Amino acid sequence: MNTPSDRKYTQSDEWVKLEGDIATVGVSDYAQDALSDVVFFEAVVSVGDTVQAKTQIATLESVKAAADVNAPLSGEVIEINEDLASSPELVNSDPYGKAWMLKLKVSNPAEYDALMDAAAYEAYCAGRSH
């Protein structure tokens, strides 16, 4: 399992990379592996929307399941990765790069500190089964 140490993770398998007050959000390698072949991505928020941590921001569908993607942090949506709608398979091939889902202008930076680092997330995933 690939778990980059330059970001934080949620128990619902999202990752967030914080640069200043801008958070880039996606789903983890563990999540894409559990979903299998991702065939559909849809953001359920729009640029300019304000979202709260742990609320749904997108839907992913694979050949075997559908999954909600939740905001790891509260903030304003400033960008959505429109490429994922036409190339949802990027979630499988590049979950930490080209398959980022959206960017948020963070409203409560303290929420970031409460998320798991890579080591804690790997330990959390090791205690679960697909």
CATH of the domain at 76: 2.40.50.100
Read off φ and ψ for residue 13, nearest 5 degrees: 75, 25
Q: Is residue 24 part of a domain?
A: yes
> What is the domain extent for residue 89?
8-105
Q: Is residue 101 part of a domain?
A: yes
> How many domains, in total, are found in the chain?
1
Q: Is residue 96 part of a domain?
A: yes
The DSSP symbol for 50 reads E
Q: Is residue 129 part of a domain?
A: no
Convert the pLDDT of each residue in 17-57 to its tens digit.
Answer: 999 999 999 999 999 999 999 999 999 999 999 999 999 99
Q: Which of 68, 33, 41, 55 is nearest to 104 (CA)?
A: 55
Q: Is residue 36 part of a domain?
A: yes
Q: Is residue 118 part of a domain?
A: no
pLDDT band (50, 70, 90) for residue 130: low
Q: Is residue 40 part of a domain?
A: yes
Q: Are 9 and 28 in contact (CB under 8 A)?
A: yes
List Cα–Cα distances, 52 to 10, 32, 34, 85, in angstroms: 14, 23, 25, 23
Q: Is residue 34 part of a domain?
A: yes
| H-helix or E-strand spanning residue 32 | helix 29-35
| pTM reported for the whole predicted model | 0.94
Q: Residue 60, exposed/middle/buried by CB under 10 A (0-12, 13-18, 19+)?
A: buried
Convert the pLDDT of each residue in 67-106 to its tens digit.
Answer: 999 999 999 999 999 999 999 999 999 999 999 999 999 9
Answer whether residue 129 shows pLDDT above 80: no
